[in-house]
Structure 1
Amino acid sequence: MPNVITVITAVHAPGAQYLPDAYKSLQEQELPDGWEWQWVIQEDGETDAVRPYVPDDARISFGQGRHGRAAMARTMGLSRAEGEYVKVLDADDMLTPGSLARDLHALRENPDVGWTTSRVLDLLPDGSTVGFEGDPPPGPLARGAVLDFWKSHNYRAQVHPATLAMRHDLLLALGGWMALPASEDTGLLLALSAVSRGWFTPETGLLYRKWPGQVTSQAAHADESERKARFAVVEARARVLAAMDGWRYWTG
């Protein structure tokens, strides 16, 4: 039996049109010998709008469920994940060639690393890309470093949670994605960092699509009272995890 890395995608009806692009980026991945990917697509809702965009491929598992936003959809999809490692891929984003292989290399060669991230480029509607300064040095990220940076840089992490790959058992131990209307991936990133070292890959691993229908472009996402509440619980969980005696992740 091959080894598996599971890619999890939450999708809602407006974003389903981009699934073929995400699929193409998965097809272009070259994995180490003896490895293959599994793509778990979970619709946030039960409509007829998403399934037509799901490719016919035995490596793909498609599911639907009650509407509850991305965090719930990803966590429900986790029930079908078969891989030792889990990679996030939003429905409207695309992996770059070599992304999965680089994640696997970092996780397999470093048993004390629980999660990986990589450089991101924004993909604009005209097809151009925009990068950002301030990436951390390549290699390991110290346990707790993400929370420290996030707090001192106006609640912006030095790495992008949309690029996360992580050990399946660690993801389960942390309860999956936080039950929040947004910032659920930031909450997971900070929790991961609170209990284990991470890894940053300097090569671009993701094209992050910018388009009018994406959730982060909606006015509700910027509501200040909700934002404060989200970030308060994200920080509180990370601090509690960091302070718990013995809560350290190590596979060696």
Structure 2
Amino acid sequence: MTNLITVMTAVHGPGAHHLPDAYKSLLAQELPEGWDWQWVIQEDGETEEVTPYVPDNPRVSFGQGRAGRAAMARTMGLSRAEGEYVKVLDADDMLTPGALARDLAALLANPGLGWATSRVLDLLPDGTTVGFDQDPPEGVIARGAVLAHWQAHDYRAQVHPATLIVRRDLLLALGGWMALPASEDTGLLLALNAVSDGWFTAETGLLYRKWPGQVTSQAAHVNEQEREARMAVVEARAVTLASLTGWRLSAQ
């Protein structure tokens, strides 16, 4: 029986034209013998804009549904996720060669870990890249460390949630992505770290595309009132989970 990693992608019409680049990066991945990937693409909406960009591949599962932003699309996509692990890949981003294999190696070597992340490079419109200059060292990220860093650095985590790979059972137990208009992946990251140690890989695992149509470039994303509300509920969830006895993840 083949073991699976489910790669989860939420997409909306304006970003659908980036799917071929994401797909190309997925096809370039090499996994150990006995492992394969499944790509679950879930449209945030029911339009005719996305379907032309969905690959004709039996490993690709495409679905549509009522618009509700990325968190709802990803969570609805979980209904078709068959993998032991779920890897996030935004429609406009690209995996680097070897990213899935490195994720898998870290998690299989450390059964007590619930999730892993990796270094990110921002991919700018001119094709150049920019990296984060405060990455943590490669290795285990202790339970609670992400929340502590996030609280001390104006709601900015030391690892990027767009690179998350997570145990599917843990993802389901936490209810998927937070029902927020944005920062839903940060909310998941903090919740995961509230109940489990994680891992950071220092080698670049993702090219994070910067372009005018992405959600984080919109004015609403930096509206201070909304941002404070998002951060308040993200923090409250993580703190509450951390305080609950019996919620710490055990090894598989």
TM-score by length of 1: 0.99
Q: Which residue matches 1:202?
A: 202
Measure, in 1, the Cα distance between the counterparts of 2:215 and 2:244.
Answer: 34
Is 1:66 aligned to residue 69 of structure 2?
Answer: no
The structural deviation recorded for 1:250 is 1.2
Letter in 2 for 1:203: E
Structure 2 matches for 1:93-132, cutoff 5 A? 93-132=93-132
Identity over aligned pairs, percent: 78
The structural deviation recorded for 1:95 is 0.2
Measure, in 2, the Cα distance between the counterparts of 1:132 and 1:48.
Answer: 37
Gaps of 5+ in 1: none
Measure, in 1, the Cα distance between the counterparts of 2:191 and 2:168.
Answer: 14
Structure 2 matches for 1:52-201, cutoff 5 A? 52-201=52-201
For these two proteins, the number of residue pairs brought into alignment is 252
Q: Which residue matches 2:27?
A: 27
Alignment RMSD, CA only? 0.5
Structure 2 matches for 1:211-226, cutoff 5 A? 211-226=211-226
Q: Which residue matches 2:251?
A: 251
Per-residue CA deviation, residues 154-187 of structure 1 (Å, 9 max, x unaligned), is 1100000000000000000000000000000000
Q: Which residue matches 2:44?
A: 44
Measure, in 1, the Cα distance between the counterparts of 2:120 and 2:83.
Answer: 24
Is 1:15 aligned to residue 2 of structure 2?
Answer: no
Match of 2:6, SS state, is strand
Match of 2:111, SS state, is coil
Measure, in 2, the Cα distance between the counterparts of 1:86 and 1:74.
Answer: 11
The structural deviation recorded for 1:80 is 0.2
The structural deviation recorded for 1:109 is 1.0
Measure, in 2, the Cα distance between the counterparts of 1:116 and 1:250.
Answer: 16
